[in-house]
């Protein structure tokens, strides 16, 4: 099969974003967790939490580095692969892209300071204060870049006058209808993912037989944070569905295999679909789609029949949607389960079964992030700028995209493998208890 | 000043900032590897890593800032450079990615892995070489528009004496800027052994820097006579640049005022870089893109400038804090903190 320049460019963009988004999500979420741990440690004068903050921060240095370099890749690649699109969209939406770099700048400066000043201040709270600009910087950069993605879904803030862009309003473009739901969902899921990944590492250590105070405290903290963020994620997901039904109905209809516009629409879980769009084996929840989309069981939901064949998104995104939502509920149940067992007397939250589920939470949340982005981006097909430019019109005319794809594939494999090796090496020979001994107790005398 | 000239000036400042901080970083990588190979590691490498560790991410942002800003202010650049530079641009990106991540791997992960350090050092010279070709291409003659497509004439680039002279200048300047800065840093740390080694590096690379810039001028004359003429009109900028160089070299030879010497080197490159940039105008990419034809709309231009000013209000104090903690804090530099 001969792959066209468009196919290859899409593959390369997807690969770079799919790789970057893992590290970006960690980059947005983990500073929040580090800051919470350090705060509790200072407040309660508890060296376990202080150590937790330090250990998380140490691992974070590695993932940040990969986040930064892959982000630089995607930033330049957008111009290299989609020059015609960037030339047009850049006129309207370069403001948040530009502000994103300021946010990075801010984050980079304070992260540098934070990581190298653990013992430099007389009052530990000054060091904690440095984590605030790091959080502001990384969350703001997620916010700004997500407004760009929102713009691609619901473009506004300009008019087309025979090919030329006129009446450009950068702020209107930035605060388009997709912005609130998207940024809300992206931020909550980043925090959730960070909590679940860190919880998953703690669960792994306990399962391997190291069941000390440190691991228990880490589990409690990550699961409590995880529960809060998982509930936030579900709310934000619901907000996103309501947004879709109003502004991007074809995407919601494709996600839910909803063909006819009608009130009282059913929610479909799982199932299969054939070439005549006959759905079988799905679990139907009557009226639920109407409820999700409009908070009422007989709200009218727009179906795919209102859109011509060639601008309908592919239908397989339904499966991704089910899995993402499933993982969302999984994380609510697991984190709530742990907290409840922990609060009840005579119950053991550290039983093997639950620990295995917590362990699964980390990888599953990363999977959900990937699924979420794929369904959101593929659900925009065939548009790159919905209603204005199709993907095929934005692509580069250069040859050699295939070669470029292979080069970057090699790069990401190398970086992925080395990240894991370096992280494992960093902590394997240094259990928390031992580090606690020589960092706090040994030196205090 | 019109908004588009203001825009390109701001961006040029950031590229200049990147030129200085990245040169320090790139050169340091090379010296660190050289130090390990020649067994002088114990003398110089801790000076290098003490400065680099807290600031490397900041260095990278200067670069991101430049290209995001360029596409923002002058969207046409995305189109021409984007189409033409897919392969060379991707190679530079991969080198940058390897460098950044391997720095983290070797510095925070496995301290004494020779391969990580080698890649870190080698990319330090290859990246300036490959990034500098973007400037070469901007002189024109290496791109061609053909049936609505932009074609990159790679063969021409590789055989052009001008292109090679720029590469040589880029590498040599990186080593020179870096050596002078590290000499100053070693002096602040009162680390006399490191100072001795690094000062020799600085002296060694000073002559080639001037020779390479003369070479670039000579080859520019035949490659783009029109740009060369413009540069001659700005002869005083290049003259000032040379005077600053001479002052810096003098201080280093005398073995005193290393701080002033580094500032002189910054001025040397400031005048040369802005002289080059000013004489390049109005073209961003000769002859396809000029600042006035490719400028984004006025609304966006004003929004970007506003965002830029607001951003500076935030960044300048933060950068000063960073420098005070890691550059001008004598105890930190000496390794006592
Ligand atoms: C840990 C990751 C994660 C989890 C558990 C969930 N999501 Fe999600 N979802 C994302 C991660 C994500 C994402 C990666 O952040 C996306 C991709 C694009 C976006 O805006 O957010 C997304 C997109 C996204 C969209 C499309 C938005 C759009 O295209 O504008 C909808 C409707 C939902 N989600 C709904 C939900 C619901 C109802 C969930 C149930 C709890 C849920 N998500 C859990
Ligand atoms: C400047 C903003 C962005 C631009 C120009 C952009 C452009 C594109 C393009 C051209 C594609 C390939 C065509 C397609 O399949 O839709 C794509 C796909 C994709 N983008 Fe976006 N995007 C942007 C923002 C984002 C953001 C912020 C994310 C999240 C990290 C993202 C995630 C994805 C993903 C996961 C895909 C793969 C979808 C697939 O498999 O086709 N995009 N993007
Ligand atoms: C088209 C999409 C995207 C582009 C063009 C992009 C661009 C970049 C760039 C250029 C960097 C490196 C900045 C530096 O030098 O410090 C970076 C890093 C980063 N990006 Fe992305 N990004 C995209 C998607 C995202 C998304 C969707 C998020 C958040 C959900 C995100 C969050 C981050 C974070 C937090 C970092 C800093 C590195 C870290 O802390 O791990 N990015 N990105």
Closest approach of chain B CAs to the CA of A99, in angstroms?
Answer: 7
Query: Helices A213-247 and A47-81, interaxial angle, to 10°?
Result: 40
- Residues in chain A with CB shorter than 8 Å from the CB of B91 are 407
- pLDDT exceeds cutoff 80 at B274: yes
End-of-domain residue from the set A335, A362, A379? A379
pLDDT computed for residue A444 by the predictor: 39
Q: Using alpha carbons, select from B123, B99, B31 the residue that is nearest to residue A65.
A: B99
Q: 């569905």: which residue's tokens?
A: A241
- Quick one: A100 and A31 in the same domain? yes
Q: Does B134 touch chain A (CB under 8 A)?
A: no
Q: Using alpha carbons, select from B22, B182, B24, B93 the residue that is nearest to residue A20.
A: B93
Regarding predicted confidence, which is higher, B266 or B7? B266
Nearest residue, CB atoms, B86 vs list A80, A100, A116:
A80
Chain centroid to CA B132: 9
Closest approach of chain B CAs to the CA of A95, in angstroms?
Answer: 6
Q: Report the separation in Å between the CA atom of A256 and the middle of ligand 1, taken as the mean of its atom positions.
A: 14
Is A445 within a domain? Answer: no
Regarding predicted confidence, which is higher, B331 or A219? A219
- Quick one: A33 and A90 in the same domain? yes
pLDDT computed for residue A2 by the predictor: 62
Residues 385-424 of A with CB under 8 A from B: 396-398, 400-401, 403-404, 407-408, 411, 414-415, 418-419, 422-423
Is A183 within a domain? Answer: no
Average pLDDT score over chain B = 78
Is A392 within a domain? Answer: yes
Closest approach of chain A CAs to the CA of B225, in angstroms?
Answer: 30
Q: Predicted confidence band at B43 (pLDDT cuts at 50, 70, 90)?
A: low
Distance between CA A351 and CA A349 in Å, rounded? 6
- Quick one: A22 and A61 in the same domain? yes
Q: Which of A8, A17, A21 to mutate to test the pocket of ligand 2 (most atoms within 8 A of CB)?
A: A17
Q: Using alpha carbons, select from A75, A10, A29, A104 the residue that is nearest to residue A369.
A: A29
Binding-site residues, ligand 2, Cβ < 6 A: A 10, 13-14, 17-18, 21, 78, 82, 145-146, 148-149, 152, 373-374, 377-378, 380-381, 384, 391
**Torsion from C-alpha of B249, B255, B261, B265, nearest 10 degrees:** 40
DSSP β-bridge partners for residue A365 = none
Q: Report the separation in Å between the CA atom of A14 and the middle of ligand 2, taken as the mean of its atom positions.
A: 6
Residues 50-79 of A with CB under 8 A from B: 58, 61-62, 64-66, 68-73, 75-77, 79
- pLDDT exceeds cutoff 70 at B109: no
Distance between CA B246 and CA B214 in Å, rounded? 15
Q: Does B93 touch chain A (CB under 8 A)?
A: yes
Q: Using alpha carbons, select from A442, A401, A308, A414 the residue that is nearest to residue A5.
A: A401
pLDDT digits (tens, 9 = 90+) for B115-169: 777 877 788 888 888 888 878 887 777 777 777 677 777 777 788 888 888 888 8
Is A408 within a domain? Answer: yes
Average pLDDT over residues B170-191: 84
- Residues in chain A with CB shorter than 8 Å from the CB of B319 are 109
pLDDT computed for residue B153 by the predictor: 76
Contact between B72 and B126 under an 8 Å Cβ cutoff? The reply is: no
Residues 28-57 of B with CB under 8 A from A: 53-55, 57
Distance between CA B174 and CA B18 in Å, rounded? 11
Contact between B202 and B183 under an 8 Å Cβ cutoff? The reply is: yes
DSSP state of A272: E
DSSP state of B105: I
Q: Which of A237, A268, A379 to mutate to test the pocket of ligand 1 (most atoms within 8 A of CB)?
A: A237
Q: Which residues, in sequence order, are CB contacts of B12 under 8 Å at separation 6+?
A: B273, B274, B277
Per-residue pLDDT of chain A (445 residues; tens, 9 = 90+): 466 777 788 888 889 999 999 999 999 999 999 999 889 888 888 888 888 888 888 888 888 888 888 888 888 888 777 877 777 777 788 888 888 888 888 888 888 888 877 777 778 888 888 889 899 999 999 999 999 888 888 888 777 776 677 777 778 878 888 888 889 999 999 999 999 999 998 888 888 877 777 888 888 889 889 999 999 998 888 888 888 877 877 787 777 777 777 776 677 777 777 666 666 676 777 667 777 777 776 777 777 777 777 767 777 888 888 888 889 888 999 898 888 888 877 777 778 778 888 888 889 999 999 999 988 888 787 777 777 777 777 676 666 777 888 888 988 898 888 888 888 877 776 766 667 766 665 543 3
- Residues in chain B with CB shorter than 8 Å from the CB of A90 are 71-72, 75, 78, 296
Looking at all shown ligands, the one closest to residue B61's CA atom is: 3
Is A195 within a domain? Answer: no
Is A228 within a domain? Answer: yes
- Quick one: A388 and A362 in the same domain? no
- Residues in chain A with CB shorter than 8 Å from the CB of B299 are 168-170
Residue closest by Cα to atom 41 of ligand 2: A378
Closest approach of chain A CAs to the CA of B186, in angstroms?
Answer: 19
- Quick one: A388 and A271 in the same domain? no
Q: Does A114 touch chain B (CB under 8 A)?
A: no
Closest approach of chain B CAs to the CA of A375, in angstroms?
Answer: 27
Average pLDDT over residues B15-34: 84
Distance between CA A64 and CA A134 in Å, rounded? 12
Nearest CA in chain B to A107: B58
Domain boundaries, chain B: 3-333
- Quick one: A71 and A146 in the same domain? yes
How many Å from the N-terminal Cα to the C-terminal Cα in chain A? 71
End-of-domain residue from the set A362, A379, A396? A379
- Quick one: A397 and A305 in the same domain? no
Is A204 within a domain? Answer: no
- pLDDT exceeds cutoff 90 at B91: no
How much of chain B is in helix, strand and coil states, percent to nearest 5? Answer: 85, 5, 15
- Quick one: A68 and A111 in the same domain? yes
Is the previous residue joined to B26 through a cis bond, with omega within 30 degrees of 0?
Answer: no
Average pLDDT over residues B32-47: 73
* Candidates A27, A58, A73, A102, partner chain B, best to mutate (most B CBs within 10 A): A102
Task: Count structural domains, chain A.
Answer: 2
For residue A72, give the ligand 3 atom closest to its CA: 10
- Quick one: A405 and A366 in the same domain? no
- pLDDT exceeds cutoff 60 at B81: yes
Residues 197-236 of B with CB under 8 A from A: none
- Quick one: A169 and A44 in the same domain? yes
Is A265 within a domain? Answer: yes
Whole domain around residue A69: which residue ranges? 1-178+383-434
- Quick one: A342 and A405 in the same domain? no
Binding-site residues, ligand 3, Cβ < 6 A: A 20-21, 23-25, 27-28, 63-64, 67-68, 71-72, 74-75, 78, 104, 108, 138, 141-142, 145-146, 186, 190; B 57, 60-61, 64
pLDDT computed for residue A445 by the predictor: 32
Closest approach of chain B CAs to the CA of A239, in angstroms?
Answer: 30
DSSP state of A287: T
Looking at all shown ligands, the one closest to residue A181's CA atom is: 1
- ipTM > 0.90 (yes/no): no
- Quick one: A105 and A227 in the same domain? no
């Amino acid at each position: 099969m001969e792959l066209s320049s468009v196919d290859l460019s899409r593959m390369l963009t997807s690969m770079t974003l799919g790789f970057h988004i893992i590290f970006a999500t960690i980059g947005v979420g983990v500073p929040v967790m580090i800051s919470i741990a350090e705060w509790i440690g200072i407040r309660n004068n508890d060296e376990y939490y202080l150590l937790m903050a330090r250990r998380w921060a140490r691992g974070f240095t590695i993932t940040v580095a990969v986040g930064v370099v892959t982000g630089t890749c995607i930033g330049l690649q957008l111009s290299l692969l989609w020059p015609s699109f960037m030339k047009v969209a850049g006129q309207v939406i370069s403001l948040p892209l530009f502000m994103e770099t300021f946010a990075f700048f801010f984050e980079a400066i304070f992260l540098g300071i934070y990581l190298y000043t653990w013992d430099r201040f007389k009052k530990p709270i000054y060091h904690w204060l440095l984590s605030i600009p790091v959080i502001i910087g990384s969350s703001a950069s997620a916010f700004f870049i997500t407004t760009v993605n929102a713009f691609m879904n619901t473009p506004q803030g300009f008019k087309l006058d025979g090919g030329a862009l006129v009446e450009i309003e950068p702020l209107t473009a930035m605060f388009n209808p997709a912005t609130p739901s998207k940024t809300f969902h992206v931020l909550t899921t980043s925090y959730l993912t960070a909590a679940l990944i860190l919880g998953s590492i703690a669960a792994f250590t306990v399962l391997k037989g190291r069941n000390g105070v440190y691991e228990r405290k880490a589990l409690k903290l990550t699961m409590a944070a995880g529960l809060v963020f998982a509930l936030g994620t579900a709310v934000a997901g619901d907000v996103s569905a309501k947004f879709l039904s109003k502004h991007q109905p074809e995407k919601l209809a494709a996600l839910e295999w909803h063909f006819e516009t009608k009130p009282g629409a059913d929610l479909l879980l799982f199932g299969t679909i054939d070439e005549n769009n006959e759905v079988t084996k799905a679990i139907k929840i009557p009226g639920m789609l109407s409820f999700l989309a409009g908070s009422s069981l007989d709200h009218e939901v727009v179906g795919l029949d209102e859109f011509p064949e060639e601008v309908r998104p592919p239908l397989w995104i339904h499966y991704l949607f089910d899995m993402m939502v499933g993982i969302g509920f999984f994380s609510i149940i697991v984190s709530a389960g742990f907290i409840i067992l922990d609060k009840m007397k005579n119950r053991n939250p550290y039983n093997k079964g639950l620990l295995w589920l917590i362990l699964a939470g980390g990888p599953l949340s990363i999977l959900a992030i990937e699924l979420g982005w794929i369904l959101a981006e593929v659900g925009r097909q065939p548009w790159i700028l919905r209603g204005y430019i199709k993907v095929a019109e934005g692509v580069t005319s250069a040859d050699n995209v295939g070669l470029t794809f292979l080069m970057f594939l090699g790069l990401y494999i190398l970086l992925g493998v080395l990240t894991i090796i370096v992280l494992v090496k960093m902590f394997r020979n240094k259990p928390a208890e031992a580090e606690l001994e020589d960092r706090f107790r040994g030196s205090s005398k | 000043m019109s908004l588009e000239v203001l825009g390109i000036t701001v961006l040029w400042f950031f590229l200049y900032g990147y030129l200085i901080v990245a040169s320090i970083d790139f050169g340091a990588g090379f010296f660190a590897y050289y130090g390990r190979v020649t067994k002088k590691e114990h003398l110089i490498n801790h000076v290098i890593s003490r400065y680099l560790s807290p600031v490397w991410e900041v260095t990278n942002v200067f670069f991101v800032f430049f290209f995001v800003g360029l596409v923002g202010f002058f969207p046409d650049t995305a189109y021409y450079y984007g189409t033409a530079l897919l392969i060379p641009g991707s190679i530079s990106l991969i080198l940058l990615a390897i460098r950044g991540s391997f720095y983290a791997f070797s510095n925070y992960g496995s301290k004494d892995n020779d391969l990580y350090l080698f890649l870190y050092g080698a990319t330090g010279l290859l990246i300036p070489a490959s990034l500098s070709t973007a400037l070469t291409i901007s002189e024109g003659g290496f791109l061609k528009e053909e049936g609505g497509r932009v074609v990159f004439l790679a063969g021409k680039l590789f055989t052009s004496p001008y292109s090679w002279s720029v590469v040589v200048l880029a590498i040599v300047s990186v080593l020179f800027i870096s050596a002078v800065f590290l000499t100053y840093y070693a002096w602040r740390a009162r680390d006399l052994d490191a100072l001795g080694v690094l000062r020799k590096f600085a002296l060694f690379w000073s002559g080639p820097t001037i020779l390479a810039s003369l070479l670039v001028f000579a080859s520019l004359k035949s490659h783009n006579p029109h740009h060369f003429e413009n540069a001659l009109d700005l002869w005083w900028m290049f003259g000032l640049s040379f005077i600053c160089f001479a002052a810096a070299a003098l201080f280093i030879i005398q073995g005193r005022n290393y701080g002033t010497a580094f500032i002189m080197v910054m001025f040397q490159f400031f005048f040369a870089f802005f002289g080059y940039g000013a004489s390049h105008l109005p073209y961003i990419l000769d002859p396809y893109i000029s600042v006035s034809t490719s400028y984004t709309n006025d609304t966006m231009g004003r929004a970007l400038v506003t965002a830029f000013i607001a951003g500076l209000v935030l960044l300048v104090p933060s950068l000063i804090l960073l420098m005070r903690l890691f550059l001008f804090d004598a105890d930190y530099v000496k390794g006592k903190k």
